[in-house]
Amino acid sequence: MEFEKVADGFCLIEAPRWDGSNLWFTDILLGGFRRLNADRSIDAWLTERTTVGGLALNDDGAMIVSGTGGIVWIHPETGASGTLIDTIDGEPISGVNDIFPDGRGGLYFGTVDHINMLAGKEFFGKSALYRLAPDGTTTFFHDGIGFSNGIGLSPDGCSVYIVDSAAGVIGTELGVDGSPGETAMYAALEGIDGMTVDAEGHIWGALIQSGDVAKIGPDGKVAETFAVPGGHPVALCFGGPDLTDLYITTASQGAGEAALDRSQLPSVPRTAGIYRVTGAGKGMPLARTSFVLR
């Protein structure tokens, strides 16, 4: 595979999202979310918000943004902003890592224990998968996750996947109404971070520790792996005019430690970037959420 670096100078890049024309992404340490434009210029918003591990595009042009304390939204063009969800059943949300549209106007989100994690007490804490419907209703799917990470849907929309970085990829069957069914380990693979699903049902996972990307077949077994230049792949998505370009984001050496202890941030080199691999596979269009934001 041929890798082309299309962005550089960051610390820990997460949540790549292709909107049909441009690539959006976040930086856990530098804060906020960014848009990589066709001319490779980069625009940034909400840089004061760190630990953003997930993005979703709302159908009114707003961006849905995860992070410590829950999920917020901001309209890049108008600057209007607000909170989408910060409690579940009256309990404050410690943090949300990845989020992903459910194809029904809402989204899936994985909780993480940001408060204890950022206090240096525990990295693998309380994580669970939920769905947030367009009307604000929250549905619990399952817990027992060591650390929630990438989320994706099967091509037929009958299963939702979430990465447990301590164990692998977990799959949950979905009812015709989107309700959760049976949950089971889909692919046992420690050290996986972000993931994306292609049009044939393969899961592409970023193995941050080994420096590889794994292509997992519909049978849940690793079909192939390939090394990413410089190592430390974090997240990935398909994009480009025909969704055949694979975008892979990376992290700088020491970025993980700085995420837990921000006093180490000055020593983290800004060598994280985004690679594009042309013709790697065939992705699926990214659905948009349809929350009424005001």
Q: What is the pTM of this model?
A: 0.96
Which amino acid, 128?
A: A
**Alpha carbons 125 and 112: distance in angstroms, whole number:** 7
**Which pLDDT score, from 0 to 100, does residue 118 have?**
64
**Which pLDDT score, from 0 to 100, does residue 168 have?**
96
Residue 266, helix vs strand vs coil = helix
End-to-end CA distance of the chain: 45
**Which pLDDT score, from 0 to 100, does residue 70 have?**
97
**Which pLDDT score, from 0 to 100, does residue 262 have?**
80
Q: For 122-128, which contacts have Cβ atoms below 8 Å and span 24 or more sequence positions?
A: 123/147, 123/260, 124/166, 126/94, 127/97, 127/164
**Alpha carbons 222 and 276: distance in angstroms, whole number:** 22
Residue 176, C-beta contacts closer than 8 angstroms, at least 6 positions apart:
none
Low-confidence ranges of the chain (pLDDT < 70): 116-125
Query: Residue 63: how many CB atoms within 10 A of its CB?
Result: 22
**Which pLDDT score, from 0 to 100, does residue 114 have?**
75
Q: Which domains does the chain have, with CATH numbers?
A: 4-278 (2.120.10.30)
Closest by alpha carbon to 207, among 260, 165, 269, 270? 165
**Which pLDDT score, from 0 to 100, does residue 207 have?**
97
**Which pLDDT score, from 0 to 100, does residue 135 have?**
97
**Which pLDDT score, from 0 to 100, does residue 256 have?**
84
Q: In what order do the strands lie in the sheet with 222-227?
A: 192-197, 203-207, 212-216, 222-227
**Which pLDDT score, from 0 to 100, does residue 132 have?**
98
